[in-house]
Amino acid sequence: MNALGPSSLDPLLPSPLEPVEDERFTRHGVRLLLKRDDLIHPDLPGNKWRKLAPNLAAAAGRPVLTFGGAYSNHLRATAAAGRLLGFPTTGVVRGEELAGRPLNPSLARCAADGMRLLFVDRATYRAKGDPDVLARLLREAAPDSVVVPEGGSNALAVRGCAELGRELRAQGADVAAVACGTGGTLAGLAAGLGADRRTVGVPVLKGGFLGGEIRGLQEAAFGGPAGDWRLDERFHFGGYARTAPALEAFAADFGVRHGLAIERIYVAKMLYGLVALAEEGAFPPGTALAAVITGRPDGPAPLGSGQPSAASR
């Protein structure tokens, strides 16, 4: 397999940076820009492309084993890449009870793209980093498989996401904002944007653990801290895949204002947080604020169900 890139899958890079007029920002002297990473590739949009591309290039056509939940877009993107580029894929899915049920639309798409699905109990899934557990999973898949972590976040992925920061720097962004699941996108984005510009991360999970994860990813990718970044933990709306009427109303309104359907699990929470931060005066007048649109609202799970959408990390 050739290195994953324009010659193989023809991504739209750099992704467009679109200015939008929104009085919630302009009245504070802030210019809002939407970084349309959702347009990079129809099957591998947004940070899924940026994380997977270097990992799959390193795999060089060998089988890939990776991990995700029942609605994981990471699994869907990996399966699609396997179909498009012709390498075998195995997805380890959290929840052994799912094995006896009809596949949901997300997992059905993975299977249709040729991914072998291994359903494991939650204790096994939590222990997936244990060498013995991983060895057993590899025996069930292909022993020569390259292992890509859940969400695709590792040192290779972080270095891939640094290109997002370099693009935004070249496009004139002063501050960049992104929703965070595993933290890999922010870790790379901040490094590429540089220490003289600011990166804001909006975690979609509660728990306060993500800062340590990001520092660890930057250590692995760059040998130490990189860029000027901060997290705002206030906008998770109860935790991963949780939503609320206020978030639903905000996302619907934003979509009407700007003609863009908003993915709820990640993107809506980030945009909601940016409106609140602008109102609080977090961005000086004259700031060019780039909001990274990491995915599309094409998930099979109904909003408010407590189930992850297809944008799942």
Sequence spans of domains, the chain: 6-44+153-292, 63-144
Check residue 305 and give its pLDDT. 30
- pTM to 2 decimals? 0.88
Question: Which residues make beta-bridge pairs with 68?
Answer: 93
Question: Which residues make beta-bridge pairs with 202?
Answer: 179
**CATH 3.40.50.1100, domain 63-144, yes or no:** yes
Catalytic annotation on 15?
Answer: no
CA neighbor of 221 nearest in space, from 178, 177, 159: 159
Fold of 6-44+153-292: Rossmann fold (3.40.50)
Q: State the number of CA atoms in the 13 A half-sphere of 118 facing the CB.
A: 19
Check residue 151 and give its pLDDT. 86
Dihedral sign, CA of 266, 269, 271, 274? Answer: negative
- Within this chain, domains 6-44+153-292 and 63-144 share the same CATH topology: yes
Check residue 298 and give its pLDDT. 63
Give the other-Cβ count within 10 Å of 123's Cβ.
9
Check residue 251 and give its pLDDT. 97
For 206, residues 6+ apart whose C-beta sits below 8 A from its C-beta are 233, 236, 238, 239
For 36, residues 6+ apart whose C-beta sits below 8 A from its C-beta are 15, 16, 17, 18, 293
H or E, element range at 211: helix 210-222
Say how far apart CA 177 and CA 51 lie, in whole Å: 17
CB 94 within 8 A of CB 122: yes
Check residue 234 and give its pLDDT. 96
Catalytic option among 7, 15, 72, 309: 72
Pairing outcome for strands 228-231 and 17-20: unpaired
Question: Which residues make beta-bridge pairs with 290?
Answer: 33, 176
For the chain, how far is it from start to end, CA to CA, in angstroms? 25
Per-residue pLDDT tens listing for the chain (313 residues): 444 543 468 899 999 999 999 999 999 999 999 999 999 999 898 889 999 999 999 999 999 999 999 888 899 999 999 999 999 999 999 999 889 899 999 999 999 999 999 999 999 999 999 999 999 999 999 889 999 999 899 999 999 999 999 999 999 999 999 999 889 999 999 999 999 999 999 999 988 889 999 999 999 999 999 999 999 999 999 987 788 999 999 999 999 999 999 999 899 999 999 999 999 999 999 999 999 999 988 643 332 333 333 333 3
Say how far apart CA 266 and CA 152 lie, in whole Å: 16
- Tokens representing 277 are 């931060």
Give the other-Cβ count within 10 Å of 271's Cβ.
26
Say how far apart CA 91 and CA 128 lie, in whole Å: 12
